[in-house]
Structure formats: structure tokens, C-alpha cells
Amino acid sequence: MYFSKKILPVKLIALLILLSFAQSVLAQNDSISSPSSYFFQPTIQVDYLYGQVNDPNELEGINNSHYGKISLLNKTGNQPGSFFKRYGSPQVGLSFLVGYLGKRDVYGSVIGVYPTWSYHFKEENSLSFDVTLGSGLAFFSRPFNKIDNPDNLLIGSHVTNITDISTHLVFRFHPNVFIRTGIGLVHASNAHTAIPNIGLDDITVRLGMVYKPGVLTGLEMPKRKSVAPDTLWRKNIRVLYGRHELAFTQHPVDGPSYTIFGLAGYVSKQLSPINEFQFGLSYVYYNSYHTLISFDEMYSHFKFIRSSVISLHVAHEFLIHHFGFVTDFGLKIYDPIYRNFFLAHDESITGWFKHYVGGRVGFEFYPYNTAFSAEKLSLGAYLKTNLFQADYLEFNITYTF
């Protein structure tokens, strides 16, 4: 049975990072003082999702998808001076998703767990709305298998990332009970760590109920220290490690997994207490590119350099106490193998942009000093892309001074 065992450990590491993010945010909730009290009165959201998996292969007999979802969230920003007020006092917590994907013998079912960040606007009114974002890990029961399940070209591994974005109209029927209906997107991808990896996209309509037990009272509030802003330009050094399969989106399948190493240097500046701007340069070496050059005898000299990618980067980091959420735009100034081999016959506009544009999105974890500190060390987990197409799963360590 195809299980991509060579990739599973790094995915489990990513899962631990994401779950640690959720637990840390819950533990930082400032509405109550005792950590054991954080789960006494969470907001409970129960939703039914109805959709249709986007299937580019147009398999016969595919039905609509059905999901059940439950979220346990804590309201933040209740204490005067709370740093969560800088983010609009969101509700944060964990979501659990179980789904049937419309064709059991091909796509099977999915189980997901992910940290969730939600805003409920005008909740005191009888009619309001919310916006919710969650991203974590999912397990698929029927991934691609070249012998037993060759028709599943969407998901190539049991363990993948899952991202859930939604918005709802919310109707208040009771001070603590709400009914909501809305629309959302469920997306799953394994970051090119196992082929095929078209990715699963499912636009869903949703119906659910929300129970909010109210704010706890009569408990001692913890005291918070205000964070002094850091207004200086800082220097940063990052060392990264990645994994991927060298392939197009759908083929070849069941290939080896290759390592990726890199080094980046950049400067950063906090533009506000929760926003940081970054600009720098990265060098990344692909062992897969070097193997391809040697196997196909593409070049006789400078194989190491030609197996590399050099990029300029402009990035934004959303600072969240001991965590950061990073979006990174990269301009590739040197990428010979991807351009000359994988894009050699791609004359589309998308292909042209892939020549030059890369991206990264992911989380940073600050185990010692907080994300607001001038000097700090962080561990990161990212999805690296060529334009919007997954390239590899990245882990890194960064020192800021």
C-alpha cells in the first residue's frame, strides 16, 4: 500500500507546530486567570457543510460532498490592556472536521484538525456576520495509489495540509444561541511532497448553530505588561531545510523524495506593534535538480550552482506574541532548471509568471523572547510555491539581532 513513509515525519512535525500554536493562543487568553479554567465555557460552533469537490478529471458517479464540523473557541481581549485587542479581539481555538468527499472508492473520507481564528461582527444585533480562517492537518483515507487507486489525482498522500475559510450571516435567537448560514472554501494539499498533488478544492454552503455561554465573572484577571515597540531595523539570518518530489503536478508518481537546503539574509522593521516588514535575499540548493542534471547529462560544469535558486524577497509578518504568520513574495533572479526544463514548453501567462515569481506562507514560533522582541530566535514551518503551485515543505530556524 502506498503511504509515503518518507514524508510522514516532517508532516507530523508540522502538525505539532500547528497544534502548539493553537494551545499557546488558548493559554494566552486573558479572560480568566487559571489555565485549567480556559475550557470551562468555550464558544461552541457546530456546522454542516455541503459542497462539490472540484474534479478536473470529471470522474463518473461523483456525488456531492458532506462534512460535519465542530469548533471550540475562546473569546479574547476581555481584559483592559490585552494585547489581543491589537488584533480586534478574535475568537481563537481548535476546529475538528469529518467529511465524505463524494466518491468513496476514489476520494474516501477526510478527518481534519486545525487552529481557528474567527471574528464575529455586530454580534449584539439580531443579524450579524462572521469571518473565520483555519489551517492545520488532515488525514485522507483513500489517497492516490498507482495500483489500488490510480483515479485519485487530487491527493497523493494520507497526511496533508487543510485550510478552511468561511463567512456567515448570523441570526440571534437567544442571548447565547445563534443560527448561521454561509459559504466557504475547503482546500487540501501536501505541498508537493507526494505526487500527484492537484489539490482538493471544495466550495461549500454551510448551516450551523453557535452557543456562546457568556463571559466568566468573579475571577481574578492576570496582569499584563505592555510591550515596548522596537523601531530599529534588525538583521536576520535564516537556515532552511525542505522536502519534495521532483515532478509535475500529476506525474511521475511514486518517485523519491529529495532534500532542499538554503540560507537567507534579510533586514526587518516593525512598522506597528503587530506588523513587521522584511526585505532580503535567499539562496536555495535543490538536491533533486542536481540529480536531474547528472542523470540527463544536462550540463558538464557548475552543476552545483545550476541546481540552485537565488531570489529577492519582500515579506510581511503578523506578530502574535510567541508566534508570527508570514506571507512572502519572492522574485527569482536565478532558477535555470525550473525555467529551462519544467517550463520549457509552457507559453501561458501563468507559465511566464512562474519564471519569476515564488512565494512562501507559514508560521514562526518564538520559544524564548516574544515576536515583538529586538533579539529573538524562531522556528518556522512553511509552504513554498512557484507562483501558486506548491514546490516544497520548508522548516527553518531564524536568528534576529
Per residue in 179-196, pLDDT (tens digit) is 999 999 999 998 888 888
Residue-level pLDDT at 241: 96
In the chain, pLDDT over 90 holds for what percent of residues? 53
Residue 84 has pLDDT above 70, yes or no: yes
In the block, cell 450579524 appears at: 128
In the chain, pLDDT over 70 holds for what percent of residues? 83
Specify the higher pLDDT residue, 74 or 127. Answer: 127
**Per-residue pLDDT tens for 45-82?**
999 999 999 888 778 888 999 999 999 998 877 666 66
- Domain 234-400 fold: Porin (2.40.160)
Indicate the pLDDT class of residue 44, thresholds 50, 70 and 90: very high
What's the Cα-to-Cα distance from 394 to each of 59, 135, 238, 385, 391, rounded to whole Å? 33, 16, 12, 10, 9
Specify the higher pLDDT residue, 221 or 73. Answer: 73
Residue 286 to residue 387: CA distance in whole angstroms: 18
Specify the higher pLDDT residue, 296 or 226. Answer: 296
Indicate the pLDDT class of residue 248, thresholds 50, 70 and 90: low
- CATH (residue range 8-211): 2.40.160.20
In the block, cell 533586514 appears at: 267
What's the Cα-to-Cα distance from 293 to each of 12, 122, 125, 129, 244, rounded to whole Å? 31, 59, 63, 54, 17
User: Are residues 300 and 314 in contact, defined by beta-carbon separation less than 8 angstroms?
Assistant: no
Strands (E), 273-368: 275-286, 308-320, 323-334, 357-365
User: Are residues 323 and 366 in contact, defined by beta-carbon separation less than 8 angstroms?
Assistant: yes
Would you say how long the chain is, in residues? 401
Per-range mean pLDDT, top range of 6-20, 135-149, 219-233: 135-149
CB-based contacts of 210, cutoff 8 Å, min separation 6: 43, 44, 45, 46, 170, 177, 178, 179, 180
Residue-level pLDDT at 190: 87
- Where, residue-wise, is CATH 2.40.160.20 in the chain? 8-211
Residues 217-246 have a mean pLDDT of 77
Q: Whole-prediction pTM value?
A: 0.78
What the block records as the C-alpha cell of 366 is 518564538
Residue 323 main-chain phi, psi, to 5 deg: -135, 160
